[in-house]
Amino acid sequence: MKEVTMYKCSYCNKLFSSSHECLAHEALMFNLSLEEYEKWLKLQEKAKQASFNVTVVHNEDNIRIVDETYRNMLAFEEKHNLTDSKIANIKQKHFYEASR
Ligand SMILES: [Zn+2]
Distance 67 CA to ligand 1 centre (A): 31
Its sign, for the CA torsion 14, 45, 86, 37, is negative
Q: What pLDDT, on a 0 to 100 scale, did the predictor assign at position 76?
A: 98
Chain segment 41-100, per-residue pLDDT in tens: 999 999 999 999 999 999 999 999 999 999 999 999 999 999 999 999 999 999 998 877
Q: What pLDDT, on a 0 to 100 scale, did the predictor assign at position 8?
A: 96
Distance 6 CA to ligand 1 centre (A): 14
Q: Which of 63, 75, 66, 6 is nearest to 39 (CA)?
A: 75
Distance 29 CA to ligand 1 centre (A): 8
Q: Which helix (H) or strand (E) holds 7?
A: strand 7-8
Distance 54 CA to ligand 1 centre (A): 32
Phi, then psi, of 14 in degrees rounded to 5: -65, 140
Q: What pLDDT, on a 0 to 100 scale, did the predictor assign at position 41?
A: 97
Q: What pLDDT, on a 0 to 100 scale, did the predictor assign at position 100?
A: 74
Average pLDDT, the chain: 95
